[in-house]
Amino acid sequence: MAYLVLVRHGESLWNKMNLFTGWVDVPLSERGIEEALKAGELLRDYRFDVIFTSELVRAVQTAMLIMSRNSSGVPKIEHESGRMEKWGRVYGEHGKNYVPVYKSWHLNERYYGKLQGWNKDHARKVFGAERVHLWRRSYDVAPPEGESLKDTAARTVPYLREKIFPELEKGRNVLVSAHGNSLRSIVMHIERLTEEEVLRLNIPTGVPLIYEYREGKLVRLGYLTEEGFDNSLHLD
């Protein structure tokens, strides 16, 4: 038995400015930092064996801030190629109590293409509210030169199967720090949501969504809050 904990990163500076962010690599806002630290307090007593994040700094920051409140071990980013992979190896026994952190673009936010950097309200005025809503909330319609949620799932779900599930099968507890749309596509797969249902799925920032891995299946415990578990999927 093992745990899979999914956390959407805290508010970023561009979230605060109401801008389409996608793959633009901007950090957390002050509120986002507070959200990540609060998630860390909620997860203080959970032991993590491995962490997966996207390559974007807001997700990496969130994972690191969570682990600053956790005693599982020091989070250590695993560079898997180049000089950082070779020179970043640990040899001394006293440095081996760490939690490996794997970054991957497969967990990045949905790529918003030509919308990146646009203020969302201004985009509605220029392109029309209905078209922008379609780009944002449909399953298989992408913004100009960007990804749809379906496209996002085509990279996140294989990564879940090939990289994350094997860790759970070994009985290892996993933390995943990623983004609204990359996590929506993962939850869609886990929960077997329809294309219509996933459009109503809203994953809040900084609130851990916890699953228990039992005999090859993920069982939802729910969102972990100060009051305990909220088993609702928050389908608006």
Tens digit of each residue's pLDDT (9 = 90 or more) over 213-232: 998 999 999 999 999 999 99
pLDDT digits (tens, 9 = 90+) for 145-193: 999 999 999 999 999 999 999 999 999 999 999 999 999 999 999 999 9
How many whole angstroms separate alpha carbon 37 and alpha carbon 16? Answer: 18
Report yes or no on 188 lying in a domain: yes
Domain range enclosing 42: 2-230
Residue 187's pLDDT is 98
Token pair recorded at residue 203 = 């994953």
Residue pair 191/220 in contact by the 8 Å Cβ criterion: yes
Contacts (Cβ under 8 Å, ≥6 apart) of 54:
60, 103, 104, 105, 106, 107, 108, 109, 177, 178, 179, 182
On whether residue 189 sits in a domain, the answer given is: yes
Q: Note the pLDDT of residue 224.
A: 97
Q: What is the pLDDT of residue 119?
A: 98
Positions annotated as catalytic residues are 9, 109
Q: What is the pLDDT of residues 100-133, one digit of tens each?
A: 999 999 999 999 999 999 999 999 999 999 999 9
**Model confidence pLDDT, tens digit, residues 11-21:** 999 999 999 99
pLDDT of 26 over the 90 cut: yes
The strand pairing partners of 75, in sequence order, are 99
**pLDDT-derived band of residue 95, with 50, 70 and 90 as boundaries?**
confident
- Within-domain flag for 125: yes
Question: CB–CB of 69/45 below 8 Å?
Answer: no
In tens, the pLDDT along 32-82 reads 999 999 999 999 999 999 999 999 999 999 999 999 999 999 999 999 889
Q: What is the pLDDT of residue 236?
A: 79
Question: Is 235 within the bounds of a domain?
Answer: no
Judge whether 236 lies within some domain.
no
* Total tally of structural domains belonging to the chain: 1
pLDDT confidence bin for 6, thresholds 50/70/90: very high
Nearest to 109 by CA among 12, 197, 21: 21
pLDDT at 18: 97
- Give the pLDDT of residue 72: 94
**What integer best gives the mean pLDDT of the chain?**
96
Per-residue pLDDT at 96: 87
Helix-, strand-, coil-residue percentages of the chain, each rounded to 5: 40, 20, 35
| pLDDT of amino acid 130 | 95
Both tokens of 11, joined, read 């508010």
Please list, residue by residue across 66-95, b when 16 or more beta carbons sit within 10 angstroms of its beta carbon and e when fewer do.
Answer: bbeebebeebbbeeeeeeeeeeeeeeeeee
Instruction: Output the pLDDT for position 122.
Output: 98
Residue 123 within a domain: yes
* DSSP characters over 12-48: BHHHHTTB--TT----B-HHHHHHHHHHHHHTTT---
At 124, which CATH number?
3.40.50.1240
